[in-house]
Structure 1
Amino acid sequence: MVIIDKVKSLSRRNLLVLGTGVIGGGFAASITTKLVKAEATRKANITNPAEALQALLDGNKRFVDKKRRSRNEIYSRLQEVAKGQEPFASILGCADSRVPAEIVFDQGLGDLFVCRVAGNVATPEEIGSLEYGSLVLGAKVIMVLGHERCGAVTATLKGDPVPGQIGSLLEAIQPGLEKSQGQPGDKLENACKSNILVQIDNLKSSPVLSELIKANKLRIVGGYYDLDTGKVSLVS
């Protein structure tokens, strides 16, 4: 009875911490399952592009503030989404290992439809994937997520010969470099941000995505990730 009285006085967060050590793993698991369902319900309540974008930005703020809270990373969520997926947002991100979308936006299993390729370029394959993510799966926002000190953009700026198929990536980035010429400020940062905007234009050239935008079912935005702080800033 003493333990139960003490538990009643604890916050929900402390209760979860206490659960495995004092009041038993079964009770803690029950509480956690309820939180997972609540998290899934919150995602299901995202009904338009504005809400989807805000959910991404709110999640990134939690990540930056070291207050991540996503409950969609645990095993019960794995079992839930095995039956089907309804991601609320899609990310076209760079393959850079330092920019994992689910972590930096504080999301979990089944929340994001993610395509990653060096330089976050919108190739036909990436565009087709994102068409599927929005038209079939219902993602309400697509964020083209570039980042600080992108290696692919740096290589394009240098213009040195590259082996294999790497050159195809640099060719896709080249229009962004040309667009950034003459802009004041840091040359590499300008090129990274211009590349984001060019890839947005490439996505918007898709008839499938453009129709969804016209119907107010989709929004395509640009994001720039700061490697030093973890913050995502919108690019326009």
Structure 2
Amino acid sequence: MQNTQTPTAAQALDILLTGNQRFVDGDPEHPNQDAAHRATLVPGQHPFAVVLGCSDSRLAAEILFDRGLGDLFVVRTAGHVLGPEVLGSIEYGVAQLGCPLVVVLGHEACGAVRAACATVAEGLTPAGYVRDVVERVAPSVLAARAVGLSEEADVVNEHIRHTVDLLLNRSPEVVGGRAAVVGLSYHLGSGQVRLVTSRGLDDVAAA
């Protein structure tokens, strides 16, 4: 895909899921990674999606979605937690770069989620600023427990949904008003991503 025309939110999601399937099948195309394309990006960038992902080293968005330079505006924090700098970066991708889609990308065996579960269950609180990360994930763990969810995969999905809702609640005019937001979960073994939740996808795609 050349960055000459911004796709709709639905088209952007389809590009990501199609690329992920190539990655799963072991047949990646590695698009937009050559020297000629790199030169076209010198004047500016035109990504088609913002990806808020976990910092986990196994969760490299451009690789698992089989994309290249200039395609994705990626923001990563442990446990994909939201702080002011993170929110500002996402808003920049939407408002200034024109990305029609924001992806919250979580994954199985998330260390931040496991630490938050331990904190809630046993009161084991990490030291330093890791504690701040865990405290931001803990509400998702409590919300999952409130509806009877205790399996790790269910808690991860709840945290993805919570992050999507929090993002829209904190930025209703910029993110909520200009982009669709989807939550995806990544399976480490298979390499597959699957849709957990979506907000505004139909409305934005039809605009």
Give the TM-score taking structure 1 as reference length: 0.77
CA RMSD of the aligned region, Å? 1.5
Question: Is 1:48–2:24 an aligned residue pair?
Answer: no
Question: Is 1:105–2:65 an aligned residue pair?
Answer: yes
- Who is 2:185 aligned against? 224
Q: Give the residue type in structure 2 aligned to 1:203.
A: L
Determine which structure has the larger strand proportion and give its number.
2
What SS does the aligned partner of 1:167 have?
helix
Q: CA deviation at 1:186?
A: 5.6
Distance 1:172 1:186 in 2: 18
- Who is 2:37 aligned against? 77
Distance 2:161 2:37 in 1: 34
Q: Does structure 2 retain, via aligned residues, the 8 Å contact 1:91–1:145? A: yes
**Which one of 181, 190, 197 corresponds to residue 161 of structure 2?**
197
Distance 1:192 1:125 in 2: 23
- Greater radius of gyration (CA): 1
Distance 2:175 2:16 in 1: 20
Question: Is 1:120–2:91 an aligned residue pair?
Answer: no
Q: Does structure 2 retain, via aligned residues, the 8 Å contact 1:183–1:190? A: no
What SS does the aligned partner of 2:88 have?
helix
The 1:66–1:185 alpha-carbon spacing in structure 2 relative to 1, beyond 3 Å, is farther
What SS does the aligned partner of 1:76 have?
helix
Deviates more, 1:147-156 or 1:73-82: 73-82
Cα distance per residue 1:32-53 (max 9 Å; x no partner): xxxxxxx31xx43443111111
- Who is 2:133 aligned against? 169
Question: Is 1:233–2:194 an aligned residue pair?
Answer: yes
Distance 1:222 1:64 in 2: 19
Gaps of 5+ in 2: 198-207
What SS does the aligned partner of 2:51 have?
strand
Determine which structure has the larger helix proportion and give its number.
1
Q: Give the residue type in structure 2 aligned to 1:225.
A: Y
The 1:186–1:63 alpha-carbon spacing in structure 2 relative to 1, beyond 3 Å, is farther
Q: Give the residue type in structure 1 aligned to 2:175.
A: L
| 1:115-194 alignment, distance < 5 Å | 115-159=75-119, 160-181=124-145, 183=147, 187-194=151-158
Q: Does structure 1 retain, via aligned residues, the 8 Å contact 2:144–2:150? A: no
| 1:78-93 alignment, distance < 5 Å | 78-93=38-53
Q: Give the residue type in structure 2 aligned to 1:219.
A: A
Cα distance per residue 1:45-68 (max 9 Å; x no partner): 443111111111111111111111
Gaps of 5+ in 1: 1-38, 213-217
Runs of 4+ in 1 over 3 A off after TM superposition: 43-46, 182-186
Distance 2:88 2:73 in 1: 13
**Which one of 54, 59, 84 corresponds to residue 94 of structure 1?**
54
Q: CA deviation at 1:174?
A: 1.0
Q: CA deviation at 1:184?
A: 5.9
Distance 1:209 1:124 in 2: 14
Q: Which has the higher contact order (CA 8 A, sep 6+)?
A: 2
Distance 1:101 1:135 in 2: 21
Give the TM-score taking structure 2 as reference length: 0.87
